[in-house]
Amino acid sequence: MKQGRYFLPYNPKLIEKAREMRKNPTFNRGGEMKVWRQKPIDNFIVDFYCPKLKLVIEVNGDSHFTEDGTLYDAQRTLILEGYGLSVIRFTNDEVINCFEGVCAKIEDLLPF
């Protein structure tokens, strides 16, 4: 894939659902990096996406820890990584009870 600006594929049918999900955000640190909430990419809506870092941040609830959920997440991660993106996952519990630790893990990924 060539360097520079490019567009990630997305399913236009997910745009309205993504807008609805943005009304109830789980996590958005903000700061000097632009972070998109509920960003449609391919046939998925990722929780957070930082284009500068090519980073997807997912916050997972209980449904992700079933056998089907784990398999789905693994397949989804492979597809997203196929677009040159990195995927990092946190549990709802981590975000609620250890927010500073979550932020520290994300900051460790920053290039500066």
For the stretch 72-110, pLDDT in tens is 999 999 999 999 999 999 998 898 888 888 888 888 887
- Domain carrying residue 31: 12-107
Give the type of residue at 81. E
In the predicted model, what is the mean pLDDT of residues 44-61? 91
Place 22 in a pLDDT band, splitting at 50, 70 and 90.
Answer: low
Examine residue 40 and state whether it is found in any structural domain, yes or no: yes
CATH of residue 22's domain is 3.40.960.10
Environment class of 64 (CB within 10 Å of its CB; exposed 0-12, middle 13-18, buried 19+):
middle
Is 70 exceeded by the pLDDT of residue 35? yes
Phi, psi of 74 (to 5 degrees): -65, -45
User: How many distinct structural domains can be found in the chain?
Assistant: 1
d(CA 34, CA 15): 19
Examine residue 70 and state whether it is found in any structural domain, yes or no: yes
Pairwise pLDDT comparison (71 vs 4), residue with the higher score: 71
Place 31 in a pLDDT band, splitting at 50, 70 and 90.
Answer: low
Q: What is the mean pLDDT of the chain?
A: 81
